[in-house]
């Protein structure tokens, strides 16, 4: 095992300690975006469109996150 590998592995617990308590809540809009974005990218590639950047995905994500997070 090289020195770089050892340093990287030894640093891992420190990085995990930094992330404790900072876990990002994944909401429904985030999950839908994760599925819809690659589909939009494929459609753009095949059809030559630009629906990936139309803004609808962002609006849908914000609406779903707001609707299912309890915010008013």
pTM, entire model:
0.57
**Domain membership flag for residue 17:** no
**Domain membership flag for residue 44:** yes
**Domain membership flag for residue 46:** yes
How many structural domains does the chain have?
1
Instruction: Determine the Cα–Cα distance for residues 32 and 58; give it in Å rounded to an integer.
Output: 11
Instruction: Determine the Cα–Cα distance for residues 30 and 24; give it in Å rounded to an integer.
Output: 11
Give the structural domain span for 52: 24-72
In this prediction, residue 39 carries a pLDDT of 93
In this prediction, residue 20 carries a pLDDT of 61
pLDDT at position 14 over 90: no
| 28-58 confidence digits (pLDDT tens) | 999 999 999 999 999 999 999 998 888 888 9
């Amino acid at each position: 095992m090289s020195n770089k590998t050892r340093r990287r592995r030894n640093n891992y617990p420190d990085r995990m300690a930094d992330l404790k308590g900072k876990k990002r809540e994944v909401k429904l809009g985030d999950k839908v975006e994760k599925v819809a974005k690659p589909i939009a990218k494929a459609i753009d590639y095949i059809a030559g469109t630009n629906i990936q950047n139309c803004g609808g995905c962002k609006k849908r994500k914000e609406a779903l996150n707001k609707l299912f997070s309890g915010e008013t």
